[in-house]
Homo-oligomer: A and B are copies of this chain.
Amino acid sequence: MRLLRRSWAGLLHQRHRLLTTTSSRRSNGEREKEKEQQQRQKWTHTGSRTERMLYAAFWAGGLTLGYHWLSHRSHLTQVLLEEQKEEQKEEQQEAVARLWHATLRPELPTYKADQVEQHNCPENRIWVTYGLGVYDVTDFADNHPGGDKILMAAGSAIDPFWAIYQQHNTLEVLELLEGFRIGNLEGPLVASVDDELGSPWAQEPPRHALLKPASKRPFNAEPPIGLLAEQFYTPNELFYVRNHLPVPVISPEDYELEIEGGGKEQTLSLERIKALPKHSWSGARLCDLLRQQGVQPDEAKHVIFEGADLDPTSHPYGASIPLAKALDPRGDVILAYEMNDEPLSRDHGYPIRVIVPGTVGARNVKWLTRIVVADRESDSHWQQNDYKGFSPSTDWDTVDFGKSEAIQAMPVTSAICTPQAGSRVKVEQDEAKGEGEGHITVRGYAWSGGGRKIVRVDLTNDEGLSWHVAELEQEDSPDGRHYGWSLWTARLPVSQAQRRAGDVEIWAKAVDSAYNVQPEKFEHIWNLRGVLANAYHKVKVKIV
């Protein structure tokens, strides 16, 4: 969480400069404004203005990695109680910030919606609303990390946009926004109309109560970490969900997949995809489809995917992968229609999603509607300006997304699932050894991208003076095709001095089959997008 916020926190320090900066890119905004305003209408008129977004960083390293979990009801109460405490603290802080724009500020003037609408270009000043607040963001527009996108909300509500571009929903950004407050929006608060027909969120699927939402709209959730490593396979309804946009509604009869490549275009029905050979991952192999299409290895460099999920401007979610990965039978790229032998759920991409094993989740496009073999990468926001890594000293003033590579294969990572941070851990006595000799048992998971196998997980509870190798549980996959996670268990000896001290910090690090190892500290790999956070997982516990 802290990591992601830093990027916006930097902006706060620059505020006095922002407020005196002259604008230079206004003409763009004007040209695009009209078109965008039309597209925006269906959103702003459906009451999504009052949407509330909770943002939480994808959890260190595990963010976009696949994991699996099977419920063990006996542990639930205890684990959930501990997690609730942490959550409550964070939620309280967020709640305070959230109240600002939901609160009337009587010292400021009140504006009607049609007054706000007139301030829709730099010449007339750029006003936006968020909840009850009216804000003049003219002097900020040029420094907006998301670029010209801010102009899409000019004269209108930013609520639907912030519902999509989640990075706004942090204390720091809310604080930054409140600094631009110039008034209050007249009129009754629009009640939540999520369930009204026509809201983009009206037809979200039902979800399992145990999935912890990190953000509700779009829905991003996972089972509690304390239960994660209990079992190797995870039931579908508890499998983590990462959505970027509202979940589309697709009937299998109407489903169509367009595909461009091999010098032609065609449209496939669900039946025709299911007629292709069924791969073990329960889907058709993309390489079979591309071969059928006549795609040649050298005809292009990328395969672009588009989903049926749309942003407020009706642009679909999009991503691309290298053509070589798509064409390689050992690359195992699948058009999946089943997951653990059940039809794909709506949250996981019904009726068809791409599975690009070993590759960042953002390229595993759900609700797939279009495949294009092309010489360029996808031009979507998420391919071009989102999932990329940067040097720790790169900030929103100096970042150039065009100079960084889109994340594809992911680096090696691991996490400690039990014991959890802050918990009290009982030392297990070692019978064979002397009085007071004992150990603690630590469990977790490890994973690496690109099909690389986890070959070792090392644990220490004395800051690296001694390391202990964990036992691994993993699938027996062919070389270079280790796509699943590895669970691990380690027994760490606890010295008498550590028992007396009471506090112990446990570190975990994994090594993959290319002998890549996790870096020690987050600060040397920190990046403004907060992604790729694969430093050692460190957990402080109390020894009892």
Chain A contacts with B in 490-533, Cβ cutoff 8 A: 509, 511, 513-521, 523-525, 532
With an 8 A cutoff between CB atoms, is A449 at the interface?
Answer: yes
A178 shortest CB reach to chain B, Å: 31
A394 smallest CB distance to B (angstroms)? 8
Say yes or no: is A450 at the interface (Cβ < 8 Å to chain B): yes
Task: Determine whether A407 belongs to the interface, using a CB cutoff of 8 Å to chain B.
Answer: yes
A405 touches B514 (CB 8 A): no
CB-based contact B322/A515 at 8 Å: no
Are B393 and A523 in contact, with the CB atoms below 8 A?
Answer: no
The reply on A391 being an interface residue by CB < 8 A is yes
**A469 interface residue per 8 A CB criterion:** yes
Q: Which of A8-16, A110-118, A218-226, A409-417 contacts B (4 or more CB under 8 A)?
A: A409-417
Q: Is A467 at the interface (CB under 8 A from chain B)?
A: yes
A314 contacts partner chain B, Cβ-Cβ < 8 Å: no
Asked whether any CB of chain B lies closer than 8 Å to the CB of A253, the reply is no
For window 388-411 of A, CB contacts with B under 8 Å fall at 389, 391-394, 404-405, 407-411
Find out whether the CB atom of A515 lies under 8 angstroms from the CB atom of B328.
Answer: no
Choice from B328, B452, B519 contacting A519 with Cβ under 8 Å: B519
* Neighbouring B residues of A523 by C-beta, 8 Å: 464
How far, in whole Å, are A455 and B411 apart by their CA atoms in the complex? 13
When chains A and B are docked, how far (Å) is the Cα of A217 from the Cα of B301? 47
Q: How many interface residues does chain A have, given as a range?
A: 35 or more
| A515:B392 contact, CB within 8 angstroms | no
Q: Which residues of B contact A452 (CB under 8 A)?
A: 409
Distance, CA A524 to CA B456, complexed state (A): 13
Interface centre among A449, A453, A509, A514 (most CB of B within 10 A): A514
Residues of B within 8 A of A412 (CB): 516
Report yes or no: B330 in contact with A411, Cβ–Cβ below 8 A: no
Contact assessment for B519 and A518 in the assembled complex, using a CB-CB cutoff below 8 Å: yes
CB-CB under 8 A from A405, the residues of chain B are 453, 455, 513
Whether a CB of chain B sits under 8 angstroms from the CB of A187 is no
Of residues 218 through 261 on chain A, the ones whose CB sits less than 8 Å from some CB of chain B are: none
CB nearest to A330 among chain B residues: B324
Contact of A391 among B391, B467, B518 (CB under 8 A): B467
Q: Which of A410, A468, A480, A518 has the most CB of B within 10 A?
A: A480
Closest B residue to A455 using CB positions? B405
- The docked-state distance in angstroms from the alpha carbon of A75 to that of B341 is 66
Question: Would you call A434 an interface residue if the criterion is a C-beta within 8 Å of the partner chain's C-beta atoms?
Answer: no
Instruction: Tell me whether A466 is interfacial, beta carbon within 8 Å.
Output: yes
User: A209 to B532, alpha carbons, bound, how many Å?
Assistant: 46
Please measure, in the bound complex, the distance between the C-alpha atom of A449 and the C-alpha atom of B516, giving whole angstroms.
Answer: 10
A391 to B464, alpha carbons, bound, how many Å? 11
Query: What's the Cα separation between A324 and B478 when bound, in Å?
Result: 9
Assembled-state Cα–Cα distance A408/B513 (Å): 8
Which of B391, B455, B480 makes the CB contact (< 8 A) with A322?
B480
In the complex, what's the smallest C-beta–C-beta distance from A317 to chain B, in angstroms?
A: 22
Interface residue from B324, B392, B518 paired with A479 (Cβ < 8 Å)? B324
B479 and A514 within 8 A (CB): no
Q: Are A324 and B389 in contact (CB under 8 A)?
A: no
A458 close to chain B: CB less than 8 A? yes
Q: Are B520 and A524 in contact (CB under 8 A)?
A: yes
A449: B residues at CB distance < 8 A: 514
Task: For the complex, give the distance between the alpha carbons of A464 and B391 in Å.
Answer: 11
B contact residues around A479 at 8 Å (CB): 301, 322, 324-325
Q: Residues on A close to B: CB < 8 A?
A: 301, 322, 324-325, 328, 330, 389, 391-394, 404-405, 407-412, 449-450, 452-453, 455-456, 458, 464, 466-469, 478-480, 509, 511, 513-521, 523-525, 532
